[in-house]
Amino acid sequence: MPAVLNADASIGCGHKGTVQITPGQRTFTAGGSPVLTLGDLEGKPISGCTQVTSGTTVQCTAVVSVTGGAATTLTAGGRPALLETVSGVTNGSPPGALSVLSPGQTILRAG
C-alpha cells in the first residue's frame, strides 16, 4: 500500500520545480503534519521549474489538476487522502507531470 501524503511531502513538476503545498484540513495528521486531500494541490503555485521558455515551451507555474492517486478507503474532512502515487498535470507547455519525491511520512499507508 502506498504512503499517504502529508504537508511535508515534496512534490515536483518533472522539471525540478517544487509545488507549494498548503493543506486544506489540519485535523487529521500523519507523521506530525496534516494529511493532504483531494483538492489540496489544484491551483497551487510551482516554483523553480527549469523548463526553458521559448516560442513553443513555457515553464510550469501552477498545478492544473490531479488525475489519480486519491485513496479509496481513507478520507479526511470528507475528501479522499492523497497517496504517493498521485498524478496530475501542470500549466506548462507542454504540460508537466506531477511527481512525488517524498511523501512526507511513511507510517500511514492506504489504498
Domain assignment present for residue 109? The answer is no
Total structural domains in the chain?
A: 1
Domain assignment present for residue 80? The answer is yes
Tens of pLDDT, residues 8-38: 999 999 999 999 999 999 999 999 999 999 9
Domain assignment present for residue 64? The answer is yes
Domain assignment present for residue 5? The answer is no
Tens of pLDDT, residues 51-83: 988 888 999 999 999 999 999 999 999 999 999
Domain assignment present for residue 108? The answer is no
Task: Write down the residue that cell numbers 479509496 correspond to.
Answer: 72
Classify burial at 43, counting beta carbons within 10 Å of its beta carbon; exposed 0-12, middle 13-18, buried 19 or more: exposed
Domain hosting 31: range is 10-102
Query: Could you tell me whether strands 18-19 and 46-47 are parallel, antiparallel, or unpaired per DSSP bridges?
Result: antiparallel
Separation of first and last alpha carbons in the chain: 6
